């Protein structure tokens, strides 16, 4: 794993991500979340316990976590000599807005491990903000959780920034009529007294925003076409259309494996909810689509490719700071064109020229290398991000570009990425006399508003 950016972005200097300054913790990080959720689908009531294995980043007796709306009923600390004779000791709790401030019975030293246990309950709700509604959302019949970028505090106490990654064990008790999907691998499911108890684990550390819970009157089936196990979770009435929609996904997985390297996780699950969504979205080893996003036309198939590609770009290679969002969205959007080309449809160059014409007619006022908090998910970040990747393909030539791309993924698998790191990486794929040109290319596409011309096709 590449070096933890926790120290750089949220560390001893107290600096927070300027895009999301209201979340995170400078004093400690969470290395493992063990969540026990007892959920009543009918009234959206949640009773839960979170056991957080933490490590202090500096000497402190105060830990800040993100937790919105839900009421803390008990909080204790143990482990590392912090417990008392009778087990974990109570900690002081102050809960203001979405900040949960816990005061430990004695200070912990930098590097020291300890375990926080937080019991909480309530009726989780989504958060409304600059990025629309995020977090836990009650559906007509079930639940959807879309954590990006700071929605995870709506369902568990966490350090809600991608520079803090942790492993997970999540257990969910819910009515037996419902299927429950959580990020990670399904370890067990048992039924008793009309309830089902689901246990999921993730051994690959992930940022809180990629953690998810999806609950609905769904059923689970297996998709074919790849060596990677793929699951489809949807209601019976959508099964046929969903199967058609994801029929090519196995081939996509194989094509992306060739382009980007091995699929990073043990399996991939797609969930189709019974409601319309503005956009599908990615979670850890999972993606969620609305009923309105099913179909076999290019407009739907490109979304299938896009969300799948996020498993490499965003979920395995995680952003160290939100400013570099183009490294997620630009590459996932470029993967749509890669799939078009790999499936024998139009080449990436065709899509790039079309996208370039579209952007050239729009106002050019966004720096995709620093889009700002409000325009973090602006369409321009996606399209111009993909064009940036294509411009690099033309500049490097086919062989070097593909090597560079695979090398980028391999070097940062399960690690963090940044634009600065990407610049460094690019240099290793070009002779020193071309470094200034490549730097200039990135500056023009990422850090200046005017749309650069698309480079001429490289000689193949």
Nearer to Zn ion, 146 or 204 (CB): 146
Return the residue nearest Zn ion (CB atom): 332
Structure tokens that stand for 75 in this block: 């909080």
310 has binding-site annotation: yes
Nearer to Zn ion, 294 or 332 (CB): 332
- Give residues 330-389 in contact with Zn ion (rule: CB under 5 A): 332
Sheet of 99-108: strand order equals: 60-66, 99-108, 92-96
In angstroms, rounded to a whole number, what is the distance separating the alpha carbons of residues 149 and 155?
14
Catalytic residue among 168, 218, 382, 394: 382
Active site residue 399: no
Sheet of 142-146: strand order equals: 127-129, 132-139, 142-146, 213-216, 179-182
Residue 303 interacting with Zn ion (CB under 5 A): no
What's the min distance (Å) between Cβ of 291 and Zn ion?
A: 19
Catalytic residue among 69, 179, 282, 307: 307
For residue 250, how many other CB atoms are within 10 A of its CB?
17
Query: Got the DSSP string for 40-102?
Result: ETTTTEEEEEEEEEEEESSSEEEEEEE--SPEEEEEEEESTT-SBTTBSEE-EEEEETTEEEE
Q: Report yes or no: 381 and 284 within 8 Å, Cβ to Cβ.
A: no
In angstroms, rounded to a whole number, what is the distance separating the alpha carbons of residues 294 and 432?
47
Nearer to Zn ion, 329 or 394 (CB): 329
Q: Report yes or no: 158 and 66 within 8 Å, Cβ to Cβ.
A: yes
What's the min distance (Å) between Cβ of 377 and Zn ion?
A: 8
For residue 261, how many other CB atoms are within 10 A of its CB?
17
Nearer to Zn ion, 75 or 332 (CB): 332
What's the min distance (Å) between Cβ of 13 and Zn ion?
A: 31
Contact track, Zn ion, 311-340, x by CB under 5 A: ------------------x--x--------
What distance lies between CA 217 and its chain's CA centroid? Answer: 25
Nearer to Zn ion, 280 or 415 (CB): 280
What's the min distance (Å) between Cβ of 282 and Zn ion?
A: 6
In angstroms, rounded to a whole number, what is the distance separating the alpha carbons of residues 250 and 267?
12
Closest CA to 70 of 46, 87, 54: 46
What's the min distance (Å) between Cβ of 160 and Zn ion?
A: 19
**N-terminal to C-terminal alpha carbon distance within the chain:** 34
Task: Answer positive or negative: Cα dihedral of 310, 311, 312, 316.
Answer: positive
Nearer to Zn ion, 218 or 382 (CB): 382
What's the min distance (Å) between Cβ of 169 and Zn ion?
A: 27
Nearer to Zn ion, 223 or 332 (CB): 332
Give how many residues touch Zn ion by CB under 5 A.
2
353 has binding-site annotation: no
306 has binding-site annotation: yes
In angstroms, rounded to a whole number, what is the distance separating the alpha carbons of residues 6 and 30?
11
Active site residue 258: no
CA–CA–CA angle 183, 186, 188 (5° rounding): 140
Contact track, Zn ion, 392-411, x by CB under 5 A: --------------------
Nearer to Zn ion, 299 or 450 (CB): 299
What's the min distance (Å) between Cβ of 36 and Zn ion?
A: 31
Helix (H/G/I), strand (E/B), else coil: 243 = helix
What's the min distance (Å) between Cβ of 314 and Zn ion?
A: 7
- The b/e string for 13-38 (b: 16+ C-beta within 10 A; e otherwise) is eeebbebbeebbbbbbbbebbbbbbb
Q: What separation in angstroms does the CA of 251 have from each of 142, 217, 247? A: 31, 28, 8
Q: Which residues are annotated as a binding site?
A: 306, 310, 329
**Which of the residues are catalytic?**
307, 382
- Binding site membership for Zn(2+): which residues? 306, 310, 329
The residue ranges that bind Zn ion (CB under 5 A) are 329, 332
């Amino acid at each position: 794993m590449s070096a933890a950016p926790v120290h750089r972005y949220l560390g001893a200097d107290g600096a927070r991500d300027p895009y999301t300054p209201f979340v995170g913790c400078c004093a400690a990080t969470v290395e493992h979340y063990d969540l026990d959720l007892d959920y009543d689908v009918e009234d959206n009531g949640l009773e839960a316990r979170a056991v957080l294995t933490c490590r202090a980043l500096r000497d402190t007796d105060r830990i800040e976590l993100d937790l919105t709306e839900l009421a803390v009923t008990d909080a204790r600390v143990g482990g590392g000599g912090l417990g008392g004779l009778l087990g974990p000791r109570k900690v002081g709790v102050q809960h203001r807005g979405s900040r949960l401030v816990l005061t430990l019975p004695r200070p912990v030293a930098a590097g020291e491990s300890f375990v926080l246990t937080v019991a909480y309950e309530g009726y989780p709700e989504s958060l409304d903000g600059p990025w629309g509604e995020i977090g836990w959302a009650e559906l007509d019949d079930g639940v959807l959780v879309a954590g990006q970028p700071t929605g995870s505090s709506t369902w568990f106490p966490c350090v809600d920034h991608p520079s803090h990654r942790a492993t997970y064990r999540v257990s969910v008790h819910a009515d037996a009529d419902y299927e429950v999907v959580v990020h990670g691998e399904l370890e067990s499911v048992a039924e008793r007294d009309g309830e089902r108890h689901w246990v999921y684990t993730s051994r690959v550390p992930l940022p809180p925003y990629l953690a998810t819970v999806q609950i609905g009157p769904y059923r689970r089936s297996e998709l074919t076409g790849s060596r990677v196990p793929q699951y489809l979770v949807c209601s019976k009435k959508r099964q046929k259309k969903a199967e058609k929609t994801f029929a090519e996904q196995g081939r996509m997985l194989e094509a992306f494996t060739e382009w980007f390297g091995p699929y990073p996780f043990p399996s991939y699950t797609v969930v189709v909810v019974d409601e319309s969504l503005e956009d599908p979205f990615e979670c850890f080893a999972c993606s969620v689509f609305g009923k309105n996003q099913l179909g076999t036309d290019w407009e739907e198939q490109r979304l299938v490719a896009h969300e799948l590609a996020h498993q490499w770009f965003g979920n395995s290679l995680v952003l160290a700071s939100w400013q570099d969002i183009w490294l997620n969205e630009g590459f996932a959007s470029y993967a749509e064109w890669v799939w078009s080309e790999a499936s024998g449809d139009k080449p990436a160059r065709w899509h790039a020229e079309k996208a370039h014409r579209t952007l050239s007619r729009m106002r050019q006022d966004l720096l995709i290398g620093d889009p700002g908090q409000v325009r973090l998910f602006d369409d321009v970040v996606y399209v111009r991000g993909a064009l940036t990747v294509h411009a690099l393909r033309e500049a490097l030539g086919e062989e070097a570009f593909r090597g560079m791309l695979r090398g980028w993924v391999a070097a940062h698998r399960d690690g963090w990425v940044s634009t600065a790191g990407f610049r460094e990486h690019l240099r290793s794929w070009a002779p020193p006399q071309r470094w200034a040109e490549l730097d200039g290319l990135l500056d023009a596409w990422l850090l200046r508003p005017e749309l650069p011309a698309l480079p001429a096709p490289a000689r193949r």
